[in-house]
């Protein structure tokens, strides 16, 4: 059975496809996680953070594959911040965001990895359910999002239109091949081919914690 697939181009001067974070270290992977795509689409739809059931339902419906067209250069940002009790934050709603915490005794330090000039493509469809958005709705909100979109972190603004058109294929691998560009890719393991491995990219949106892993196949598309 041939499916219609949403083609996304995730390209920016800096992108961050968050991997499993430990302590203050925030690494990045080469491909977007299921949770990252869920957050991107939910932001475009205008879902609020506390609408956890809607986020979870959207993540559970995702079927996707991804391919790196142009590998980015790893860039590591070491951040040091010492916040005072009186410090205020800039907002978009017309008044400063005042801190309620106390002054830090020492700087807050963390490491964040990015990919510079990375170009990743995603092919995506949804399991059919009677409720929730369909692919046409997602294509619409990606072009006219409810809020500004970013690729991983708020400083990672897209350099190209995210919605790159429609593709057809029996599965994610065939849809990736339909892009017509070479690259390193992954797709659902049940489709066969490639090297099978486990990835931890699921989120439990109700608890905000790690939500498990899944099996994918990885390989080169000529």
pLDDT tens-digit profile of 85-144? Answer: 777 777 777 788 776 666 666 677 888 999 999 999 999 999 988 788 999 999 999 999
For CA atoms 75, 26, 195, 124, the dihedral sign is: negative
> Which pair of structure tokens corresponds to residue 140?
């619409």
> In angstroms, rounded to a whole number, what is the distance separating the alpha carbons of residues 32 and 18?
8
194-213: pLDDT as tens digits: 999 999 999 999 988 888 88
Domains along the chain? 3-80+112-179 (3.30.70.2660)
Average pLDDT of the chain is 91
Which among 23, 14, 60 is positioned nearest to 203, based on CA atoms? 60
Taking CA atoms, 119 is separated from 33, 97, 129, 149, 211, in Å, by: 15, 35, 31, 16, 27
Q: Is the pTM of this model over 0.85?
A: yes
Q: What is the mean pLDDT of residues 16-33?
A: 85
């Amino acid at each position: 059975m041939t499916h219609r697939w949403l083609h996304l181009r995730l390209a920016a001067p800096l992108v961050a496809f968050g991997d499993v974070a430990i302590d203050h270290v925030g690494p990045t992977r080469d491909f977007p996680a299921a949770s990252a795509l869920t957050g991107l689409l939910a932001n475009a739809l205008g879902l609020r953070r506390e609408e956890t059931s809607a986020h979870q339902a959207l993540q559970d419906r995702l079927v996707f594959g991804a391919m790196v067209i142009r590998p980015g250069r790893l860039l590591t940002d070491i951040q040091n911040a010492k916040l005072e009790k009186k410090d205020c934050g800039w907002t978009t709603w017309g008044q400063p965001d005042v801190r309620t915490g106390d002054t830090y005794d020492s700087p807050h330090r963390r490491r964040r990895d990015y990919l510079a000039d990375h170009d990743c493509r995603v092919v995506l469809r949804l399991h059919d359910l009677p409720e929730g958005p369909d692919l046409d709705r997602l294509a619409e909100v990606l072009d006219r999002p409810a809020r500004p979109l970013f690729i991983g972190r708020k400083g990672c603004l897209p350099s190209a239109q995210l919605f790159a058109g429609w593709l057809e294929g029996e599965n994610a691998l065939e849809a990736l091949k339909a892009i017509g560009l070479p690259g390193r890719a992954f797709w659902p393991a049940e489709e066969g081919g490639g090297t099978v491995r486990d990835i931890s990219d699921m989120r439990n949106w109700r608890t905000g914690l790690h939500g498990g892993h899944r099996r994918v196949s990885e390989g080169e598309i000529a």
